[in-house]
Structure 1
Amino acid sequence: MNGTMKSSAFWRDRLKASAIHLSGSLLIAALAGALVFGVWYPYPYREISGGRELFWLVVSVDVVLGPLITLAVFNRKKPFTELRRDLLIVVLLQLGALAYGLWTVSVARPVHMVFEIDRFRVVHAIEVPTEMVGRAPSGVEALPVTGPTLLAVRPFRSNQENADATLAAVQGLQLGYRPDLWQPYADAVPEVLKAARPLSSLKSRFAGRAAEIDSLLSKAGAKPDSVVYLPLVSRSYFWTVFLDSGDGRVIATMPLDPF
């Protein structure tokens, strides 16, 4: 009977310690989630750039393993200094793993949505060549940590620059990845609207989703007759960007491949 009581107390203490650890882990995970989804991957980037899946993979492993290790090592029979050392090691390992995971998410984060001739392209931090980071125009931060910004590719300054950039794009270095070709989005609005396509053509092609498009625009407070669209390209996804036909303002985005 006494042995059963001791065993019960033994596991009760371990479960309590593990539960406390789990509560702390969930709190830290919530703070990390606020950073990732509130700053680095706001909608629609959490969908387009895969930030949600990457974050949950990192955090779920970290949140589960820490409390499980605590469950395994916690024992009140250990000397206090030894128990404190073991728990400190567990916490440090867990925080180190979380820091590495957040660094991985940060490296993959979207930094800009760039208008590129006839489409928008989502540019991620890892896609910007390191040697070109310092060549962004004045007033434009190449790798912002406060969330993605809206930019555009500037006109080519010569036929040679055009040819070189086109060749580089064929080899994988897309125009939107290059800080030396960026310009403020406001400077490119005339070109954006010239390249944009009428909403009616999109609704004709995707008649089955016309009501969904109208509903999205209605929620955004836009009238269909004042909206145009352009494709949005990311790593593995094609979306649609809806724009105000007057000032080029981005109204909404939708997971619809317009190509």
Structure 2
Amino acid sequence: MTRFQAAAIHLGISLTVAALVACLIYFVWYPHPYFQVAGGSSLMLLIMGVDIVIGPLLTLVVYKAGKKGLRFDLACIALLQAAAFLYGFSVIARARPVFIVARLDRFIPVYANDLDDADLAQARQPAFATRSWTGPRLVGAQSPTDVKERNDLLFSGIAGKDLEKFPKYYVAYAEVADAMLAKARPLAELEAKSPRAKAVVERYLAASGRGIDQLAYLPLQGRTDSYTMVLSRASKQPLDALAIDPW
């Protein structure tokens, strides 16, 4: 076997693993549009770069048929590649969105590493007490009525841990759907913000087959940027996210 054949075999194995992992990440843990909203692109590119490029490239460099210590060299490459890949994979797993929280006038993704086990244990419903492995769950969040709880939440919010990070305040989305739609703005207002916004909205309308009067929008809070969540006026459900700053 030549070094090029060995590198090609290594590349084929790496591509197969990368494709399986990408399907899990893109279609299960980070379904559209949350991979972009969560800012996972750069980390994913790094992981795939290590898996697809570095390992096969090192194999190409060190492989020589009959070389003394070749098995050891290849084993070291495999171990280094696997360690780097598993580290990146674990980071993506810990940062996966587990809830999309409808709160007041916006939607907020909550990630697995945002939630404490003690807070999850206080959830009112079993479905809100676990970190989902099958994609984010859509829920609502309602502020407490107790004065002490409200004050505690105020100080917690100042420290960076706000309402959406306390599962005990989660409710079924249906309980807040009317209030969310009441806060939503007509999609025509978003379209009028800029020529780029108009182009994005027009493309979405053409692809979805819906009329602009059937839709409304609210902000969707991303890790680094703000997005626009499109809602159906009929079902009150979020339909998709557009890469437009709604503010």
Same fold (TM over 0.5): yes
Aligned to 1:138: 125
Q: For structure 1, which runs of at least 5 residues remain unmatched after alignment?
A: 1-11
2:53 pairs with 1:64: yes
State the distance in 2 between where 1:208 and 1:103 align. 36
Aligned partner of residue 156 in structure 1, secondary structure: coil
Decide which moves more: 200-209 or 107-116: 200-209
Identity %: 34
Aligned to 2:176: 188
Aligned partner of residue 140 in structure 1, secondary structure: helix
Contact persistence 1:123–1:234 (CA under 8 A): no
Aligned to 1:126: 113
State the distance in 1 between where 2:177 and 2:33 align. 22
The 3 A distance-change label for structure 1 pair 200 and 22 is closer
Identify which of 191, 200, 212 aligns with 1:224.
212
Aligned partner of residue 239 in structure 1, secondary structure: strand
State the distance in 1 between where 2:133 and 2:196 align. 39
Q: Offset at 1:86? A: 3.7
How many aligned positions are there?
Answer: 246
Amino acid at match of 1:231: P
2:97 pairs with 1:110: yes
Spell out, residue by residue over 1:200-229, the C-alpha distance to the aligned partner (whole angstroms, 9 max, x if none).
Answer: 433344466335314313422322212221
Q: Offset at 1:85? A: 4.2
Aligned partner of residue 77 in structure 2, secondary structure: helix
Contact persistence 2:227–2:244 (CA under 8 A): yes
Aligned to 1:5: none
Aligned to 2:240: 252
State the distance in 2 between where 1:139 and 1:129 align. 15
State the distance in 2 between where 1:178 and 1:246 align. 30
CA RMSD, 1 decimal: 2.1
Q: So what's the TM-score if we normalise by structure 2?
A: 0.89
Spell out, residue by residue over 1:99-135, the C-alpha distance to the aligned partner (whole angstroms, 9 max, x if none).
Answer: 2211011111122211111111111112223431322
Decide which moves more: 99-108 or 214-223: 214-223
State the distance in 1 between where 2:87 and 2:197 align. 41
The 3 A distance-change label for structure 1 pair 43 and 158 is same
Aligned partner of residue 183 in structure 1, secondary structure: strand
**Larger Rg belongs to:** 1
Aligned to 2:189: 201
Identify which of 142, 160, 166 aligns with 2:154.
166
